[in-house]
Structure 1
Amino acid sequence: MEVVQSLLDSNPYFSAGAGLAGIGVALTMLRRGLNVATLVAQRKLLVTLEVTSKDKAYPWVLAWLNAEGRATQHVSVETIIRQKTNGSTSTEYLYQPRPGRHFFFHEGRPFMVERTREKQMIDMTSGAPWETVTITTPGMSQQDMSVFNDFLRNAQSLASKRDDDKTIIYTAWGTEWRPFGHPRRKRPLDSVILDTDKGESLVGDVTEFLQSSQWYIERGIPYRRGYLLHGPPGCGKSSFITALAGELDYGICILNLNDRGMTDDRLAYALSEVPQQCIVLLEDIDAAFPDPTASRRMETDSYLTFSGLLNTLDGVASSEDRLLFMTTNHLDRLDPALIRPGRVDYIEYIGHATTPQARKLFTTFYPEASTAVADAWADATGEGRYSVATLQGVLMRYKDEPTRLVSELESALPPPQVLAVPALPSMQSLTEPAPGEL
């Protein structure tokens, strides 16, 4: 080493700086060579999956990565407060890999996860920073990409198990659908007591529709179906739709037509982007356009118009593969164009409790009550005198005292409200609108 040092010191060119420059060039070339080698290794020896925060799989991937401590002991937390059925609350902490690089093994295979968060870029609809998760693992061919299929299936399966007994409610937020609050516990279909076989008929019709996609395609019929449930408030319209969604393992997309930012274009886009396996729900449809003629005069404005709604439900730009429910308390206020076939295919009246309904509701609360007590309750409350919600409220006040309830019926029940049944029958084939109607 001393000999080399003396030779370098005695060399006039090296002493003048040429040697130092040469070493610098050599180091630069070595660094570039290493960068190129690294890039080649990444392209030829590694496979990579990128999941952005805009993708539906993003929350699944984060949850799966941290399940059983797979990804890292360095985490960020999301605090969730859940309300229990008894009114109390519980707090749950969901841990996710914090931004940065993390390493783990899965089924004997090494993985590197890099979660990045852009500080200068945000999601304009939510205000959340833009994020990506990049997953890298050894692989040299397209076939090695199949490992990510298993990866994503596992993540989705974990998410499905977590919400297996829940119904997810979505609302339209800007140009996308977002979960509204926390998933709701599924409501059993038999907990919604409808008159005679109305519930069974509705479920049967929906089930047949969901199993008939090929039939629609072969005949060139748009694959969509619309339902209208009408009747006084508190009789089970919304409850039945919620229970139906749970029975079908569907979510519910609630669309508020009175949203201040709702326009014809936004409505059309929202219905075309409905999440898979979801019921679209338009509640109190009569309140959206109390005067359809007036709404048509607003077509030059930037708000939702009645004609825009009709064209979205059944027009050239209307979406397919759609299951849509509408509800109303005032059937007579609806424009005939809105409920013609193609827009509404099935109409059902959900009215005040009949005698069989009242009796079934009573026996649901008091399964051990005597037949005489149940009959006395049914005779006093049935035949369209009260809504199901009213009767349920009375039963809630006498949770464990059915006999006392029947003995105090006169004071326990409010004055009856007898309503006339609408002229339209429960399930009907509507006629086409007259010439000139939309």
Structure 2
Amino acid sequence: MASNGTGGLPPIDFEKVRNDSDGSVTGMAKGLFNQFIEGNPYFAAGGGLMVLGTSLALLRRGVISTSRLAYHQLIVDLEIPSKDKSYLWFLQWMSRYPHRSSRHLSVETNYLQHNNGSVSTEVNFVPGVGNHLIRYKGAFMLIKRERSGQIANITNGTPFETVKLTTLYRDRHLFQELLMEAKDLAVKRQTGKTVIYTSWANEWRPFGQPKAKRNLKSVILDNGLKESILNDVNDFLQNGKWYYDRGIPYRRGYLLYGPPGSGKTSFIQALAGELDYNSCIMNLADPNLTDDRLNYLMNNLPERSLMLLEDIDAAFVKRSKNDEGFVNGVTFSGLLNALDGVASSEEIITFMTTNHPEKLDPAVMRPGRIDYKTYVGNATEYQIKQMFLRFYPEEKELSEQFVQKAVELDTPISTAQLQGLFDFNKQNPKNAVLMVESLRYPNHVFCCK
């Protein structure tokens, strides 16, 4: 077969080209191009598909670019990281929001192990990881809670989380309103109440719902003792500059010691409410507690909080037995450093309680670690009378009879026993007087009227 010198392509009919063109150079070029395309078998076989694929790719890219442009122009996002304080505010707000579409929930359990071994728990449900749809003030919002599988909080090992809110750009002002509403809800829940914090890993978390502030007048200590402690705390809080000017660490430690049931912890909780402070309870017998964690927690207390170390004697052996006092991961020197070491916290008020002060090492008792110590004992005649009148304000004559009979028992009576007796006879002060004899037995349980 003779070759036409075009590599197998069909020959070009120049006469046809001239007839099809308009006689111009441009027209001739068009005619050549059309004849080449129409008669080219290679282009006919795959060129069409190539043009189609290219067109689809360009169309897809155009659609993506257009959608991105539309997204940026019409949609707005707000990201709230878990390290931000408003993160918990928002979750609490959304868990109570009535108009939401959600099938993903997450459980949040508050856990507190007391020194006597008992455990208190409280379970709450909050929006879980996934997508949630709400309608807020007429605007739809898509809420996406995401959890990182690779990034974690180095202080407690919990995964890093974010909440992303998406809505129309025109409704972006609702983000500010929503967050302010969540904040107001959180503040309202705490107004007139005391928040109890407990340690979880390397952070403080609220335990349960905020508790109603206990009236300081409801705690009856021996005559003048309550006022003395309150005045000392107020004097400390009002003289921060005095400490700083003299280079004295701005912290103060209190030790309340005495028999169980004498009202030590109740007074501290009531004092926190009186000062408008919260309470941070640390269990030194926690098996997961270490020196580093103890020091970190005591240096990162929530704002306006009292530190409470209950039954401090139960967490350590005497120094004479073991210089380091290794118990449950915390060392004796670790406690001392946390109380007043170089890295210890400033502007902190620490309350410690114990039923056995004789078990405490002298190193713990020195000033700078414990600056104010006082005995909170069993009920005195003054306390017995004041507690009776607290429950039965109009029964002054019966109060004298009750005090006389209680004194005649010639046995220690705790304020907890008195409260149990009065609680059992809420509306019957005469019966309370008749039941004074039961106070002779410390473990007596009032029941079965």
TM-score (normalizing by structure 1): 0.74
Deviation at 1:312, TM superposition (A): 1.2
Distance 1:234 1:47, change over 3 A: same
Q: Does 1:189 align with 2:216?
A: yes
Distance 1:81 1:40, change over 3 A: closer
Structure 1 residue aligned with 2:144: 114
Structure 1 residues 359-391: Cα deviation after superposition (integer angstroms, max 9, x where no partner): 11101222232x221112123336994211122
Deviation at 1:310, TM superposition (A): 0.8
Give 3-state SS (helix, strand or coil) of 1:253's partner: strand
Could you tell me which runs of 5 or more consecutive residues in structure 2 were left unpaired when the two chains were aligned: 1-34, 111-121, 443-449
- Of 240, 256, 262, the residue aligned with 1:235 is 262
Deviation at 1:69, TM superposition (A): 4.0
Q: Does 1:285 align with 2:319?
A: no
Q: Does 1:21 align with 2:47?
A: no
Structure 1 residues 244-282: Cα deviation after superposition (integer angstroms, max 9, x where no partner): 223334332221222222221111112122222222111
- Of 349, 374, 380, the residue aligned with 2:405 is 380
* Distance in 2 of aligned mates of 1:262 and 1:250: 25
- Of 102, 105, 130, the residue aligned with 2:133 is 102
User: 1:289-300 residue pairs with structure 2 within 5 A?
Assistant: 289-297=316-324
| CA contact 1:125–1:173 (8 Å) conserved in 2 | no
* Distance in 2 of aligned mates of 1:415 and 1:73: 58
Of 388-397 and 344-353, more deviation after overlay is shown by 388-397
Distance 1:402 1:102, change over 3 A: closer
* Distance in 2 of aligned mates of 1:387 and 1:11: 112
Structure 2 residue aligned with 1:135: 165
TM-score (normalizing by structure 2): 0.73
Distance 1:398 1:105, change over 3 A: closer
Structure 2 residue aligned with 1:363: 389
Give 3-state SS (helix, strand or coil) of 1:194's partner: coil
- CA RMSD in angstroms, aligned pairs only: 4.0
User: 1:290-329 residue pairs with structure 2 within 5 A?
Assistant: 290-297=317-324, 303-329=329-355
Distance 1:313 1:129, change over 3 A: closer
Deviation at 1:353, TM superposition (A): 1.4
Paired letter, 1:399: K
Deviation at 1:403, TM superposition (A): 2.3
Structure 2 residue aligned with 1:344: 370
Deviation at 1:22, TM superposition (A): 3.1
Structure 1 residues 371-417: Cα deviation after superposition (integer angstroms, max 9, x where no partner): 221112123336994211122223334333322433453x333069x
| CA contact 2:156–2:202 (8 Å) conserved in 1 | no
* Distance in 1 of aligned mates of 2:336 and 2:108: 40
| CA contact 2:325–2:332 (8 Å) conserved in 1 | no
Deviation at 1:170, TM superposition (A): 2.4
Deviation at 1:311, TM superposition (A): 1.1
Structure 1 residues 102-138: Cα deviation after superposition (integer angstroms, max 9, x where no partner): 36455x8775432235578888999987642112456
| CA contact 2:324–2:333 (8 Å) conserved in 1 | no
Paired letter, 2:79: E
Distance 1:80 1:309, change over 3 A: closer
Structure 2 residue aligned with 1:85: none
Structure 1 residue aligned with 2:8: none
User: 1:205-284 residue pairs with structure 2 within 5 A?
Assistant: 205-284=232-311
- Of 71, 74, 78, the residue aligned with 2:102 is 74
Structure 1 residues 314-373: Cα deviation after superposition (integer angstroms, max 9, x where no partner): 01111123221100112232222212222122222211112221111101222232x221
Deviation at 1:176, TM superposition (A): 2.0
* Distance in 2 of aligned mates of 1:298 and 1:407: 50
- Of 69, 79, 83, the residue aligned with 1:50 is 79
Paired letter, 2:191: D
Give 3-state SS (helix, strand or coil) of 2:294's partner: helix
| CA contact 1:195–1:357 (8 Å) conserved in 2 | yes
* Distance in 1 of aligned mates of 2:153 and 2:234: 38
| CA contact 1:62–1:97 (8 Å) conserved in 2 | no
Deviation at 1:44, TM superposition (A): 7.9
Deviation at 1:309, TM superposition (A): 0.9
Give 3-state SS (helix, strand or coil) of 1:351's partner: coil
* Distance in 2 of aligned mates of 1:36 and 1:180: 49
- The higher radius of gyration belongs to 2
Give 3-state SS (helix, strand or coil) of 1:159's partner: helix
Distance 1:146 1:281, change over 3 A: farther
Could you tell me which runs of 5 or more consecutive residues in structure 1 were left unpaired when the two chains were aligned: 1-6, 83-90, 417-438
Deviation at 1:188, TM superposition (A): 2.2
* Distance in 1 of aligned mates of 2:172 and 2:234: 37
* Distance in 2 of aligned mates of 1:263 and 1:252: 21
Structure 2 residue aligned with 1:393: 420
Q: Does 1:61 align with 2:90?
A: yes
Deviation at 1:235, TM superposition (A): 0.6
Give 3-state SS (helix, strand or coil) of 1:293's partner: coil
| CA contact 1:99–1:117 (8 Å) conserved in 2 | no
* Distance in 2 of aligned mates of 1:213 and 1:44: 53
